[in-house]
Structure 1
């Protein structure tokens, strides 16, 4: 079964310097029908004005993934990590017992556009961690985060996985879904056909109670999406 969360139905927060769309309840946006999906708790689609950003604030016991679509993030945290995250790179900050960080648009002239993703860990009270990597733009499914960090992926503290999906026009692939597992799709660029359901940028889809999923690109440009494998 595929259940679509259309882009225009997401929550919104606008503070002048930040324009954010919330797939799930977050901050002042609350919808009891959209509190997360399995261990996936947050997908915020954030646009940040030049030289603006999130002042130092804290997190604990949460796996926080940032994926930059346009621009650059200037990151600084209480573990001593001072990094710039450019477009195309993924960052995984494991908050663990507690971490403080700030995130700013590193540019004085260009907008920052990124996804902020929270996944609830299956273990608590462990030391914070930080990982960052560019996984390229290969066609097909590219693993980004896995529970054991295999093959150079980011290691996530949950029985979950995140993959980047890139399909050229006319391309298709089939994903097997083990019994008891769920998928969540988040569409970033282009049009994605999931079985017979069309997703456009900003759309999301829960996939439950089916053994496989056919993914294809019916459009005229390459598509980009994220695919979450969840318990």
Structure 2
């Protein structure tokens, strides 16, 4: 039977409900999604180079004061609204639906985040990737990204040397996709790599497995797997090498 059949039970897919691991700091709230916890008996909260995917909320008029990250790659993906960034390297940057930011923290990078009083409420993802080595050169990338095309994956970051607009220093490719109800798309794949899919908005079916709002699925296979939207949906996908060398000394992700 074709593994992409919508009526097939796919044994290589592990799903995770909405996380119950969160922190509430009033105007700033975060929910930690750990891809490794979707897999039974997996001894790591992360999965290979992907440490955690954090759903972050900032109310208007919120300041997260200057703080340091080390030994992790931090990606800010903002599908709506604005996130304002300041750092000790003199950058004042706005990340929004038209821009993506990657902090390659390396040996140490100081930054702050802010929303102004007249900014809209912010809901975004902050993605923590484990680098392949400790003490790398710190830096920041802030680039325009291609306009989305409904029903197609948009490649936003990847390992150094790929055609993605931004890079991280390990084997992870990141994509997003908007699907209308009833539309289908094939999960990004590469030989020997696995994919973590997260439903930012909406709901989908993967075979006969339903994955809803803010739920995740770890696809531990590199064959073509089809996703069908059961609601209008916004998806993100991390295609990664589960055997990549990783470090686990990041400030947040570890």
> What is the CA distance between 1:109 and its match in structure 2?
5.5
Residue 221 (structure 2) aligned to one of 209, 218, 225: 209
Matched ranges for 1:192-203 at <5 A: 192-203=204-215
How far did residue 134 of structure 1 move?
3.1
Corresponding position of 2:133 = 123
- Unaligned 5+ segments in structure 1 are 26-31
User: How much is the aligned-residue C-alpha RMSD, in angstroms?
Assistant: 2.2
Superimposed CA distance per residue, residues 8-58 of structure 1 (whole angstroms, 9 cap, x where no aligned partner): x43121121222211139xxxxxx977212211121111112111321110
Query: 1:138 aligned to 134, 141, 149, which one?
Result: 149
| Contact 1:20 1:45 (8 Å CA) reproduced | yes
Of 104, 107, 124, which residue of structure 2 is paired with 1:94? 104
Aligned residues: 222
* Pairing of 1:145-160 with structure 2 (within 5 A): 145-160=157-172
By how many angstroms is 1:104 displaced? Answer: 1.0
Distance 2:99 2:229 in 1: 23
For the pair 1:3 / 2:14, whether they are aligned, the reply is yes
Q: How does the TM-score come out when normalised to structure 1?
A: 0.86
Report the Cα offset of residue 216 of structure 1.
1.9
Please give the secondary structure, in 2, of the residue aligned with 1:104.
Answer: strand
In structure 2, distance between residues paired with 1:58 and 1:41:
18
Question: Contact conserved, 2:71 with 2:107, CA < 8 A, in 1?
Answer: yes
More strand per residue: 1 or 2? 1
| Higher RCO, Cα 8 Å, sep 6+ | 2
TM-score, length basis structure 2: 0.79
The aligned runs of 1:36-115 (5 Å cut-off) are: 36-87=46-97, 89-108=99-118, 110-115=120-125
